[in-house]
Every structure is written in structure tokens, then in C-alpha cells.
Structure 1
Amino acid sequence: MTAILTDMVKGGRAVTRVLLLAVCAFGLVLMAKGAVIPVKAGLAQILLERAFDASRVAGRPLRPWPWADTAPVARIGIARLGVERVVLSGGSGQAMAFGPTEMPMAKDSRVTIMAAHRDTHFAFLADAKVGDIVTVEPVKGQTRRYRITGFRVARWDQFAYPRDPARPLLGLVTCYPFDATERGPMRFIAWAEAL
């Protein structure tokens, strides 16, 4: 009887060890999957920078990877904040996963709207100030400079821009508030006039 109980305990320990190893292996797989996301994000930024440089040489937007549905159209920066971002074409949510996007506008518009996520590529807008200089280096054409003239918070469905501003206007748009963890209807807009 004692031998039977001893065998049962040994068998139970073996099953417990196997279960613990399986749980540990599963945890390691989950950790590896979680680590892939930041690695992919970092690699994407390197590829976007390379595509931007190649696009400047070619004088036209070039895709950062063969299956990309977007391409760099500009690079924006605020020197005071030490920030530079590659801006992508299209304005889609998929493109915004990789960087700010330039919203499609009428060709003769004197207004340029760029949008990005508040917790990644446009998080720096929380520290922007009136008077900051924003540089926009397009893939084709000369670098333009804008001065931030003000900020506005509006519901997404009440966002509006001047149809014919006196000077070319740049709007940088992101969700608001900056520290929110859920989606919301409010948008933060930094307006900047061309110098």
C-alpha cells in the first residue's frame, strides 16, 4: 500500500512539473510576441527614414516596403523640442500606425492638415508652445517654416479650417486629452502660419 501511494505521489509530481513547464513555455511565447511589436515599430521608423531620403533623391514618394499602402511625403520637426517625424501619405488609420499622415486636401488649398496619434508620433504637441517653429521638408520642393500661432480643442465633428487664409496654414491634429487611455471625440489642433 505504501509503495502504491509513493508511486502516485511521484506520478503527481511529474504531472505537476510538466504542467509548470507548459505554463512557463506559454509565458515565454507571449513575452516574445509582445517584444516583437516594439522591434517592428523601431524597424519601421528606420525604413521610413530611408524611404524619405530615397524619395527626396527621386523627387517623388517611394514606399518604405513593398506591401506598404503609404509613402513618405514630408518630414516635420520642432527644433526646440528635438523632434522630427516622417509624414506619410493618405491619412488612413493604417498609415497613422507608423507616423503622422498628411490629410488629402484640394491641390489649390493654402491649408495643410497633418494628423497622428497623441500617445506616439504627436505626443510632443503636449509640450509645444505658441511661437515654436515647425519645419516641413517635403519630398519634392523647398523646406517651409511655420510659426505656431495658437491651439484649439474641438470635437472631431466640429473641426474646421479657414478656406482661404491670408498666409499658408499648417494644422497639426491629434486626439485629446493627451493622457487619456480610451478613444474620445475631442481633438487638439496646433495652428501654425507660414513664415
Structure 2
Amino acid sequence: MKPSLHAKIHLWIMALIILVGLGLIAQGGYMQAKAHFAQFLIERAFEQTLVDNQPHKPWSWADTHPVAKMRLLQHNAQGGQQPLGQDLYVLAGASGRNLAFGPSLMLAGAGVGEQGNMIIAGHRDSHFMRLQYVNVGDMIELYSATGQLQVYQITATQVVHETATEVLDQTESSKLTLITCYPFDQLAGNAEYRYIVEATPLV
């Protein structure tokens, strides 16, 4: 017996839903692959900078370059420190385009290795998602483009309204400020709050 028109329509709708679902899965896989490949290119550019001390773009049309490598270290049960996720490469200039590829240094703040408030921003749903797990006393290792290592200790974490721009103010003493949107589990745009991690250098 031939299927009815209603049954045919139902089958076509189901097939269309399956195709759309497969398309979304493929698109998600492509975006993940693209993000991983971008990290590889950024890492390679930073390694080239360590060799010749010159800025290198991760790809020819990029308007930024990596300026530091950052590693978050978390206290473990044995009293030591263990990395919290993979190393992060910090890009110059916290534009929306740069933030899509990694945490980025706000150029209005102090530069890497300079005295003052060095501010690094990142997205809460990707590179800076791990900030929700850091605690006061944890460490941050920051390698400059010249290979110099500066270790910071986290001294405070706080949630502030987006209007609390004083966290971006410059300071006479050196400090590191990490900033991302908050809360971490609410990924809708236009977040009103920011999660702030403050750290001071260890001499």
C-alpha cells in the first residue's frame, strides 16, 4: 500500500531535520578544528618571536601577534601546583576579533614586563572559562616574548558590574588583572557583570 500524503510529508520533515542536525554538527566540528589550528599557528608565531625577538603574525592577514604565554597553576592535594588546563597565548589588543582566538592584552594597560596594571581579557565560554576554578593563593606564570618568566600569585577574585571601570585603572605598583564576563554558566550576550582575578608578582 502506498504511503499517504500525510506520511510522505512527515518523512520529508524528518529527513530535513536530520540533515539540518548533521549540518550543525559538521559546522561545530569545523569551528573546533579551526580554533585548534589557530592555536597551533599562534604558538608557532610565539616560538618564532622567542628566536629572533621580533613580533610575528600567526597568519598573514592577522592584525595582532602573541606577546606572552600564560600558565595557570592550581594547588593540589599534595601541597604542590599543577597546571589548570593547557598553556594560553596572549594576543596584543583586546578586540572582539582577537578575543575569538585567545586571551588578549588590553593596550590601555601596562605591557608585558612593564610596571603598572597589566590587563588581560578573555571569553568566559572558551579560554577564560577556567578562571571559575582558581583560588586565592594559586599561581600564574607569564612568559614574555623575550622568554623571561614572571610568576604572579592570585590575591583576590571578585564580581563587579560592567560600570566598575576602576579595576582597569593604572597602578604605581605592578599587578596582573584577568577579566571575563560573568556568570560563567550564562552564555547569552550583553553580560552586565565581570569576573576579576587580581594577582601580584612574586619577587
Establish whether TM, by shorter chain, passes 0.5: yes
2:104 is matched with 101
Cα-to-partner distance string for 1:68-103 (whole Å, 9 max, x where unaligned): 222101011123252320000111011000110000
Give 1:69's match in structure 2, choosing from 63, 67, 74. Answer: 63
Give 2:197's match in structure 1, choosing from 187, 190, 195. Answer: 190
After superposition, the CA RMSD in angstroms is: 2.7
1:42 is matched with 36
| Larger displacement relative to structure 2 (76-85 or 117-126) | 76-85
Residues matched between the structures, number:
186
Q: Secondary structure at the match of 1:160?
A: helix
| Whole-angstrom distance in 2 between the partners of 1:26 and 1:176 | 32
| Whole-angstrom distance in 2 between the partners of 1:99 and 1:159 | 22
Taking structure 1 as the reference length, the TM-score comes to 0.82
Taking structure 2 as the reference length, the TM-score comes to 0.79
| Whole-angstrom distance in 2 between the partners of 1:92 and 1:117 | 11
In the TM superposition, residue 19 of structure 1 has moved relative to its aligned partner by 4.9
Equivalent pair of 2:53/2:146 in contact (CA under 8 Å): yes
In the TM superposition, residue 43 of structure 1 has moved relative to its aligned partner by 1.0
Q: Secondary structure at the match of 2:155?
A: strand
1:3 is matched with none
| Larger displacement relative to structure 2 (155-164 or 94-103) | 155-164
Q: Counterparts in 2 of 1:1-195, with a 5 A limit?
A: 9=2, 19=12, 23=16, 27-80=21-74, 82=83, 83=85, 84-105=87-108, 110-140=116-146, 142-161=148-167, 162-165=169-172, 167-183=173-189, 184-195=191-202
Cα-to-partner distance string for 1:36-83 (whole Å, 9 max, x where unaligned): 111111111111111111121121221111112221010111232523
Equivalent pair of 1:155/1:186 in contact (CA under 8 Å): yes
Could you list the runs of 4 or more consecutive aligned residues of structure 1 that deviate by over 6 angstroms after TM superposition?
none
| Corresponding letter in the other structure for 1:71 | H
Q: Quick check: which one's helix share is greater?
A: 1
Unmatched runs of 5 consecutive residues or more in structure 1: 1-5
Equivalent pair of 2:72/2:140 in contact (CA under 8 Å): yes
Percent of matched pairs sharing the same residue: 36
In the TM superposition, residue 181 of structure 1 has moved relative to its aligned partner by 2.3
Q: Secondary structure at the match of 1:140?
A: coil
Change (3 A) 1:27 1:171: closer
Higher-Rg structure is 1
Change (3 A) 1:130 1:29: closer
Unmatched runs of 5 consecutive residues or more in structure 2: 75-81
